[in-house]
């Protein structure tokens, strides 16, 4: 007999267990000794992968719902607010990205390659508007049109809450 099955005589008398039928050190039977209905089929593992992916995607969309309250962002200078926005972009933290944006710019986001060596300085500022010039290593993410960008100008408005919110960005 193959597969480690127990052997018996023609009259049904038990001759003893094959080594594969003996319990392991943990006390469980080896897979070949388990009843067939308890063995895991490869298709059950393969079929469960899409279910896990769907649940994970659903959790992401729920966590980034537009009706979800936005995280609190500290009151800071336009350059510091812009640097904080870049950190949120790099972390692909959609609620935090939206918390840095003016209400008209909030929405869904595509995670892109991270910005590296970001350095932001104030270009101009009035009581209600500001622009910040940020440099970074070449950003090559054609999914969103960034092909070799090394700087962005970021435009902000001063909100009623005292926070600077991003209204636009990109190459001037």
pLDDT at 52: 41
Alpha carbon distance 124, 171 (integer Å)? 16
What is the residue extent of each domain of the chain?
1-39, 78-170
pLDDT at 31: 53
Alpha carbon distance 129, 61 (integer Å)? 32
Strand 14-16 and strand 119-125: the pairing is unpaired
pLDDT tens digit sequence for 42-86: 544 454 444 444 444 444 433 445 566 889 999 999 999 999 999
**What's the fold here for domain 78-170?**
Nuclear Transport Factor 2; Chain: A, (3.10.450)
Alpha carbon distance 7, 17 (integer Å)? 7
pLDDT tens digit sequence for 101-127: 999 999 877 888 889 999 999 999 999
Q: What angle do CA 57, 58, 62 make, to 5 degrees?
A: 120
- pTM here is 0.60
Q: Establish how many alpha carbons lie within 13 A of residue 90's alpha carbon, considering only the half-sphere containing its beta carbon.
A: 13
pLDDT at 166: 97
Q: Is 23 exposed, middle or buried (0-12, 13-18, 19+ CB in 10 A)?
A: exposed
Q: Given the structure tokens 């090394």, which residue do they identify?
A: 150
Alpha carbon distance 123, 136 (integer Å)? 16
pLDDT tens digit sequence for 32-49: 555 555 455 554 445 444
Q: Given the structure tokens 């388990």, which residue do they identify?
A: 34
Instruction: Tell me the average pLDDT of the chain.
Output: 74
User: What values do phi and psi take at 47, rounded to 5?
Assistant: -70, -25
Confidence of residue 18 (pLDDT cuts 50, 70, 90): very low
């Amino acid at each position: 007999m193959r597969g480690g099955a127990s052997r018996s005589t023609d009259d049904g008398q038990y001759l003893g267990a094959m080594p594969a039928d003996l319990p392991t050190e943990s006390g469980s039977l080896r897979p070949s000794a388990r009843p067939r209905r308890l063995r895991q089929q490869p298709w059950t593992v393969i079929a469960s992968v899409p279910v896990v992916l769907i649940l994970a995607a659903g959790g992401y969309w729920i966590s980034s719902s537009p009706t979800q309250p936005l995280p609190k962002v500290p009151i800071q200078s336009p350059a510091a607010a812009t640097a904080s926005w870049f950190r949120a972009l790099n972390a692909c933290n959609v609620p935090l990205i939206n918390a840095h944006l003016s209400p008209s710019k909030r929405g869904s986001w595509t995670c892109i390659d991270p910005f590296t060596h970001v350095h932001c300085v104030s270009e101009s500022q009035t009581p209600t508007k500001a622009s910040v010039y940020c440099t970074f290593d070449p950003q090559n993410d054609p999914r969103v049109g960034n092909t070799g960008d090394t700087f962005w100008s970021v435009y902000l408005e001063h909100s009623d809450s005292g926070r600077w919110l991003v209204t636009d960005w990109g190459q001037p």
